[in-house]
Structure 1
Amino acid sequence: MWDIVTPIIVDGKHIGNIFSGQFFFDDEPLDYELFLSQARKYGFNEEEYIAALEKVPRLSRETVENSMSFFMKLANMLSQLGHSNIKLAQLLEERDTLVDKLEKNREDLDRAQAVGNIGS
């Protein structure tokens, strides 16, 4: 049984994964004895376990490759958007700091003009 997981990396940090589900390749035979032994080992009802196994999707290798390509592009887009949002938040914080400094400078200038009885 196969499972595809695509990591999402933002600003060099692994923040999550895209899980695209479990499947079998349509050209690989199933080892029913393996799954029956697992059912016995873990105390599962064998008939229900095999019935569930039969519901697992069978996908062609081409379909899996196309899906993987899509999920890699999606993960890349999410990573880029996340990185852009981090940079935007940093820029907004810098802007707020500069606005605070400008307001303080304006208050200082107003105070200095009032004390010196001058205006601009």
Structure 2
Amino acid sequence: MSDLDPEDAKIVTLARSSRARTGAAEGAAVRDTDGRTYAAASVALPSLQLTALQAAVAAAVSSGAPGLEAAAVVSTEGSIDDASVAAVRDLAPKAPVILADTSGTVVRVHPPDAAGESA
């Protein structure tokens, strides 16, 4: 995490904590444009399925977040679900979406392309 901005490193740490606390396959955290953070783990109920990033975005939106600055996902998988990235892009077309492994090492950062879409 040493190459990350300290605020981005914080959301990776929060995502790791969410994942570890629940034993979920993934954890996520987002930072809104006011600097508040929201963390969540994946939800797998018979009637509700959310990725960790979708759950974190939902927490931010339901708390009145005006937009997002950045997002992070910690996962055992080597990629982030397209629907999860799309949830971030709905609020912030240009926000970086950081993927880290369970140790917190950054695997990839999904920056937007010139059109504001995920790369």
Please, what TM-score do these two structures have when normalized by structure 1? 0.21
Which structure's residues are more often helix, by fraction? Answer: 1
Largest Rg, 1 or 2: 1
Which structure's residues are more often strand, by fraction? Answer: 2
Please, what TM-score do these two structures have when normalized by structure 2? 0.21
Larger RCO (CA under 8 A, 6+ residues apart): 1
